[in-house]
Amino acid sequence: MYSAFVNEGNMIMPYLEYKENASSQTAKYYKENAFSKEAANEVRDGLIQVVENPSGTAHSAKIEGKTIAGKTGTAEIKQSKDDTEGTEIGWFNAFNVGESDESLLLVVSMVENVKGKGGSHYLLPKVRAIFDPIGTPFFGSKVT
């Protein structure tokens, strides 16, 4: 679904790549016009603020010189409303904005048992590390 927010409302059909230089493959739409272009842009702009705004829940994933959009979430797994022993699942979906087609990336991440580890915030440095080398000459480079 998040692919619609970087493709003017069109959801891209996901696929796995298992060969070098496979970028000649043309993306296929899974659902055209899942959202209007205006609605998709409005949601995208809000997701950018989740990372860019200093009070955003994913601000620690911000990388200077890059625009990352994202959404954090924590799910509580409990036996009942009053259960205090349950566990938590943290998730963070993120994509970069304004990169060349070769560097566009959408990351969907989820980790179980994040209770006491910061919930979804546990994932932020891990996902940030994925976006950090995008657009640099080699993977080991760090962008600050």
- pLDDT by position in tens, the chain (length 144): 778 887 888 888 876 666 566 555 666 788 888 899 999 999 999 999 999 999 999 999 999 889 999 999 999 999 999 998 999 999 999 999 886 666 778 899 999 999 999 999 999 999 998 888 654 433 444 444
Instruction: Read off the CATH number of the domain in which 15 is found.
Output: 3.40.710.10
CA 21 to chain centroid: 24
- Are the C-beta atoms of residues 68 and 61 closer than 8 Å to each other? yes
Q: How far is CA 81 from CA 13, 27, 76, 85, in A?
A: 38, 44, 10, 11
Q: What does the alpha-carbon distance between residue 81 and residue 48 come to, in Å, rounded to a whole number?
A: 33
Beta bridge partners of 87: 77
82 falls within a domain = yes
The number of folded domains in the chain is 1
Amino acid identity for residue 63 in this structure:
I
Domain holding 44, by residue range, is 2-131
